Amino acid sequence: MNRDETVALFLRGREAWNAWANRMLAERKALQGAGKWAARKLPWGELESQNDDTRQWLEDARADFSRCVFLVRGKTETEDAPEKDNEGDASASVPVISISVDADRIDFGGIRLYGDASGSEPFKTISVDADLIDFGGFVFPGPASFLSATFSGPARFRKAIFSGEASFRRATFSGYATFVSATYSDTASFWRATFSGEAVFPSTTFSGIAYFERATFSRYASFERTTFFGEARFLTATFSGDADFQSATFIGDANFRSATFSGNSAFDDARFNKAAIFKLAGFRKYASFECVSIEGPASFRAIHCEGAFIMAGATFEKVPDFIQAHFAEAPRLDDIMVVGRVSEKHPRPVYEEEKGKDPSWRTRQWRKVRHVGGRIRTAPRRKIAGIWTLLRYGDSNNLGRWRALQRLAVQGHDTERELEFNTREIRSQRYLSDWPLFWLLPRVSWVGFLRFWAGLAYGLSSNYGRSLALPLAWWLAAIAIGAVVYASQSPDLVKARETNRSGGSSALAATVGAAWDAWTEDKRCYEGEARPADPEKAPPYIGALTETLRKDTGIAAEALHLAFRNALIVLDGSSDAAHRTYGCLYGVELYGGSNPVAVVPSAVSSMSAAQKLFSALMIFLFGLALRNMLKVK
């Protein structure tokens, strides 16, 4: 239909319009069933016919409201075109037609409209001069184009159904615009649309790509509980009023790059199943991402926030990117959880053989370590599961991201988050700059080798300075091991240990067994060698403590005492206590029957020095964890 036929049909009423729409729908289905339908989709939802039957249907199904002015309650009819730039507009030469409606509102509710199936933009240059235009329940079985449409008053699209592409490119909404519970089954374009009044899209469903690039929202904009199944593109969009995306669901990528939020913005409880991109976005006032969930990559790189920025309870499956982000006030990161999974794909490395060179010996050895089964391969597998993926690839980008998060935690005086992000930074360096076997790998330094094992030990001993229980447990374990070693060096237990080993026990089992027997059987102190007939003329020999000292102690008790004394470092005890301990365990050396000197085996001296050093380290880590827990600066 041409423009005059479209207007005439519209004036006949809703029943006549829907009868025509249903007839056209039936004809299209018939063409599709007969295999005669052939149309190619052009950008922005336009259809181009590929045969005569389809071309004829597109001409008959065309609904053309171009250059129409809707007048209500005695509005003055005019033949002048609406004031707008018509340069390049093919319909500019068509005279303006006035449609007078004797009502307070223009109600399209329940009308079924195909839109411009032919691609000539049927609603181009619509000027709606009415108290209210209501498209509530409007059904669009095909593409619908409101390109450059102007809505002077409030516009309602509540529960409207757009089965094809919906184009509101360059549309202007001067009043209140509501799209509550509207359904977009295909692409929806609001590119450079202008909303001078409030724009509400709550509970709206976008099944295709939603284009809001360069859109302008002058007042409140609501996308609460809106679902975006396709990509949501808000690049360089401007929100001058408050923006509400609470409980919104983004199944596809969400791109808010360079968007400007001049008012308050809320993304509380929003869910991003894929990428969430806010790179270069600007937040002028309050910005809340509380309890947001982002499963894909999250980029907040170089954002600028002048007000409060809340991200309490947020969950990130991958490390968010806050590199060069600027916050006028410290962001709130309470209970934030970053899983930090690495998913970036890395290109396959090019080997020397592919460059016509022979690999070095170190490279060949590295391949033996790197590949499954120790086999040398000129080309590695593209996917290696489990531990081999960790050994082979790392994510160097995460290093900077963890540092950026740590900087934000420091800015917010959040000690717990600071320690967590520092931990993740240390761990992410492994197998990138830090390797456990530097002599087998090219371009790996001593520093990376030492940092790898130091970081691993730091984590195992104190959970990177965050655990009180771990250093305490290691300190107690050192006492237990020391007591076993000290007791096992007693001459009586040395004999028992050798007996156990001759029976087929291992050295460790024999040592532990001998110490256990000393503890359970409550063995007394070492009795010493047999006293010579003339001690003064005899050479030095190993004797025992006096009966007074021996009767109240035993090997197990003195071994445990020695282990505790070494563990406490500075509390070394008196010389008398040391004499009793060593004399009970290992005897005393007598010169001419007098001047007893306690015997200290070399293994015991070495073990004592090692235990003292280890205990000092555990005490330091315990103090560090206590300091971090109490947030002492």
Tens digits of residue pLDDT in 199-212:
999 999 999 999 99
% of the chain exceeding 70 in pLDDT: 68
Rounded Cα distance, 268 and 311, in Å: 9
Q: Which of the four pLDDT bands, split at 50, 70 and 90, describes residue 54?
A: confident
pLDDT category at 196 given cuts 50, 70, 90 is very high
pLDDT in tens, 430-475: 766 777 776 655 555 677 778 888 888 888 899 888 889 999 999 9
pLDDT of residue 500: 65
* pLDDT score recorded for residue 90: 38
Average pLDDT, the chain: 75
Q: Is the pTM of this model over 0.85?
A: no
pLDDT at 21 over 90: no
Nearest to 245 by CA among 207, 191, 181, 200: 200
How far is Cα 403 from Cα 335, in angstroms, rounded to an integer? 18
**Residue with the two structure tokens 């500019």:** 92
DSSP designation for 45: G
pLDDT above 70: residue 126: no
Give the model's pLDDT for residue 132. Answer: 53
CA distances to 4, 43, 61, 92 from 81, in Å = 16, 28, 26, 8
Asked if 248 and 224 count as a contact pair (C-beta separation under 8 A), the reply is yes
pLDDT digits (tens, 9 = 90+) for 140-149: 666 777 777 7
pLDDT: is 56 or 81 the higher one? 56
At residue 134, the pLDDT reads 66
Length of the chain: 633
Pairing of strands 293-294, 309-310: unpaired
- 167-176, 290-299, 407-416: range with highest mean pLDDT: 290-299
Q: Which range scores top for mean pLDDT: 397-411, 506-520, 527-541?
A: 397-411
Asked whether residue 394 carries a pLDDT value surpassing 50, the answer given is no
Q: Render pLDDT for 547-564 as a digit per residue (tens, 0 to 9).
A: 777 777 888 888 888 899
Q: What is the pLDDT of residue 45?
A: 43
What is the C-alpha separation between 182 and 115, in angstroms, rounded?
A: 17
CA atoms lying within 13 Å on the CB side of residue 105: 11
Taking the C-alpha atoms of residue 120 and residue 508, their distance in angstroms, rounded to an integer, is 89
Average pLDDT over residues 287-315: 92
Q: Is the pLDDT of residue 285 over 50?
A: yes
Q: What is the structure's pLDDT at 412?
A: 78
Q: Say which residue the tokens 């006492």 belong to.
A: 479
527, 546 contact by CB (below 8 A): no
Question: Comparing 240-254, 282-296, 440-454, 602-616, which segment has the lowest mean pLDDT?
Answer: 440-454
The whole-number pLDDT of residue 440 equals 55
For residue 255 the two structure tokens come to 């791109």
Strand 588-591 and strand 594-598: the pairing is antiparallel
Which of the four pLDDT bands, split at 50, 70 and 90, describes residue 591? low
Q: Look at residues 110, 129, 29, 18 and name the one whose alpha carbon lies nearest to residue 71.
A: 129
Percentage of the residues of the chain whose pLDDT score is greater than 90: 26
Strand partners, 217: 195, 239
pLDDT score for 262: 95
Residue 102 has pLDDT above 90, yes or no: no
pLDDT tens digits, 520-532? 767 778 777 766 6
Per-residue pLDDT of 395-443, as tens digits, reads: 556 777 888 888 888 887 778 888 888 887 887 777 667 777 766 555 5
Q: Is 574 helix (H, G, I), strand (E, B) or coil?
A: coil
pLDDT of residue 263: 94
d(CA 383, CA 374): 17
More confidently predicted of 614 and 113: 614
461, two tokens: 């001993």
CA neighbor of 220 nearest in space, from 192, 201, 197: 197
**41 within 8 A of 119, measured Cβ to Cβ:** no
